């Protein structure tokens, strides 16, 4: 009987590992959804610097008893432009949104808001990306639904389209209430 060498078994082991990962990934409800290790946990520390002469926000604003959104965005981000009208709708409907301008130039960020409108109750800059790292941000835009106690209910990576707003964001806001 011939002996199997490790070099003959290795490709099978690698294939089995990839097959297992694919199987686990396909078992999720939405395979495109990025999981959040922070869901159900307190939001990390808010550490923003003022952007222009606007009002900033801090940890206490996320724990004031009202459901809020924290939205990471940048002027150089094309999907941020796509989602912006929907953020404006949410703000008009009374949803408090705090904006975190991510690794952007202040003048560019302020011009972006001057052109498209400002849906944010307050905002600040995360010029180094340190706060975003603590929050687990993969890239912009990214939005967090925060309950009135300051816990993360939902993390949504990507632009908030009308469909996403109706199927994901608004139900999460209702659940947080």
pLDDT for res 31: 42
| Domain assignment present for 17 | no
3-state secondary structure 51-97: CCCCCCCCHHHHHCCCCEEEEEECCCCHHHHHHHHHHHHHHHCCCEE
Strand, helix or coil for residue 158: coil
* Residue 105: domain span: 39-173
**The model's pTM:** 0.80
**Domain count along the chain:** 1
Place of tokens 């052109």: 115
Helices 106-116 and 78-92 pack at an angle, to 10 degrees, of 50
Identify which has the larger pLDDT, 152 or 24: 152
Summarize pLDDT for 67-123 with one digit per residue, the tens. Answer: 999 999 999 999 999 999 999 999 999 999 999 999 999 999 999 999 999 999 999
Pick from 6, 109, 138: nearest CA to 50 = 109
Mean pLDDT value of segment 142-162: 97
| Domain assignment present for 143 | yes
CATH number of the domain where residue 77 is located = 3.40.30.10
| Domain assignment present for 160 | yes
Strand-pair partners of 155:
144
Instruction: Please count the CA atoms within 13 angstroms of the CA of 63 that sit on its side-chain side.
Output: 12
pLDDT for res 52: 85
3-state secondary structure 99-153: EEEECCCHHHHHHHHHHHCCCCCEEEEECCCHHHHHHCCCCCCEEEEECCCCEEE
Evaluated on CA atoms 169, 172, 174, 177, the torsion sign reads: negative
Evaluated on CA atoms 116, 74, 165, 151, the torsion sign reads: negative
Q: Which of 25-39, 132-146, 161-175 has the lowest mean pLDDT?
A: 25-39
**Contact present, 135 and 59 (Cβ < 8 Å):** no
pLDDT for res 118: 97
pLDDT for res 139: 93
| φ/ψ of residue 146, rounded to 5 | -115, 130
pLDDT for res 41: 92
Summarize pLDDT for 9-61 with one digit per residue, the tens. Answer: 666 656 655 655 555 554 444 444 455 567 889 999 999 999 988 899 999 99
- Report the alpha-carbon distance of residue 87 to residue 123 in Å, rounded: 14
Residue 8 has pLDDT above 90, yes or no: no
Eight-class DSSP state of 49:
B
pLDDT for res 69: 98
Mean pLDDT of the chain: 88
Summarize pLDDT for 39-51 with one digit per residue, the tens. Answer: 889 999 999 999 9
């Amino acid at each position: 009987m011939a002996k199997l060498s490790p070099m003959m078994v290795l490709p099978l082991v690698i294939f089995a590992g990839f097959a297992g990962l694919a199987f686990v990934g396909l078992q999720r409800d939405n395979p495109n959804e990025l999981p959040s290790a922070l869901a159900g946990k307190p939001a990390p520390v808010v550490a923003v610097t003022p952007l222009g002469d606007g009002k900033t926000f801090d940890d206490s604003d996320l724990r004031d008893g009202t459901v809020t959104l924290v939205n990471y965005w940048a002027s150089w981000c094309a999907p941020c432009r796509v989602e912006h009208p929907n953020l404006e709708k949410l703000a008009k409907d009374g949803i408090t949104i705090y904006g975190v301008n991510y690794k952007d130039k202040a003048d560019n960020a302020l011009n972006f808001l001057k052109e498209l409108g400002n849906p944010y109750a307050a905002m600040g800059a995360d010029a180094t990306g340190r706060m975003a790292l603590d929050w687990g941000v993969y890239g912009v835009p990214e939005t967090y639904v925060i309950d009135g106690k300051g816990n993360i209910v939902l993390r949504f990576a990507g632009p908030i389209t009308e469909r996403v707003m109706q199927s994901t964001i608004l139900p999460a806001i209702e659940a947080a209430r």
